[in-house]
Amino acid sequence: MNKVVANGDAAIEGIIDGMTLMLGGFGLCGIPENCISSLVKKGTTNLTCISNNAGVDDFGLGLLLQERQIKKMISSYVGENDEFERQMLSGELEVDLIPQGSLAERCRAGGAGIPAFFTPAGYGTEVAEGKEVREFNGKPHILESALTADFAIVKAWKGDRFGNLIFKGTARNFNPVMAMAGKITIAEVEELVEPGELNPNQIHTPGIFVQRIFQGVDYEKRIEQRTTLSKN
């Protein structure tokens, strides 16, 4: 059950041009910084990236956008990234925008063997185009399909050699559902411990969903909007 790999470079082995990746995080919170760096270094291109956001110009997925490694983004919100907007409006980058709740649920469905489900979100909007509409309890819903990925890359706070993960604060976000939906799931963690050190009752992502794990280094954990109150 030992799933430990050395580092980000080793973790992303097997990711090749044209693959579909899921990357956890909300904004810059809870993103797999080490694996993103390794992907930039490796130069893999034509990637389809499923991630709630696209980072900022010089951090997170923005780094892969800068290098033109991403062919298509599947996200719910892509503001706060000028390069993204430029590539999108110019048509260089394909973009599939999905309601955030549908994105989360579609990832979970992909991991849970639910090929499709009905949701009210997006009915009557361009999101519903080409999708089946059905009424339940007098309310129209659209049929959304599961999402899966060749690799899911998530970031956790603590993890053990078996791949059990615990997240911290709102850095949890999409990470647990994406961990479920990867054909291969890579977890980078701030602290890697031995099996038995994490309380079984407090594990957010059971190790069964994780195939590779490593302790990341040099986390910047950049804050997008530093909002504070003065103590005076």
H-helix or E-strand spanning residue 106: helix 100-112
Rounded to whole angstroms, how far apart are CA atoms 152 and 140? 32
Interface with a second copy (CB under 8 A), residue from 66, 95, 120, 206:
120
CB of 81 to a second copy, least distance (A): 29
Rounded to whole angstroms, how far apart are CA atoms 145 and 28? 27
Burial call 107-128: b when 16+ CB within 10 Å, e when fewer: bbbbbeeeeebbeebbbeeebb
Is 202 a binding residue for a second copy by CB under 8 A? The answer is: yes
Rounded to whole angstroms, how far apart are CA atoms 123 and 229? 40
Compute the Cα dihedral for 196, 198, 199, 202 and give only its sign: negative
Binding to other proteins, residues 60-99 (CB under 8 A): 75-80, 85, 88-89, 95, 97, 99
Number of residues lying near a second copy (CB under 8 A): 22
The entry of other proteins, a second copy, none near residue 104 (CB within 5 to 8 angstroms by kind) is other proteins
Only segment of 68-76, 90-98, 160-168, 185-193 that touches a second copy (CB under 8 A): 160-168
Query: Is the CB of 28 or the CB of 44 nearer to other proteins?
Result: 28
CB of 111 to a second copy, least distance (A): 13
Site string for other proteins, 131-150 (x = CB under 8 A): --------------------
**How long a stretch of residues is the chain?**
232
Nearest to 16 by CA among 38, 37, 47: 47
Rounded to whole angstroms, how far apart are CA atoms 199 and 52? 29
Is 46 a binding residue for other proteins by CB under 8 A? The answer is: no
Rounded to 5°, angle at Cα 8 from 3 and 9: 105
Rounded to whole angstroms, how far apart are CA atoms 5 and 8? 8
Site string for a second copy, 127-146 (x = CB under 8 A): -------x-xx---x---x-
Interface with a second copy (CB under 8 A), residue from 10, 89, 114, 223:
114
Binding to other proteins, residues 169-198 (CB under 8 A): 169-177, 180, 194-196
Query: Is the CB of 44 or the CB of 56 nearer to other proteins?
Result: 56
Binding site for a second copy (CB under 8 A): 105, 109, 112-120, 134, 136-137, 141, 145, 166-169, 201-202
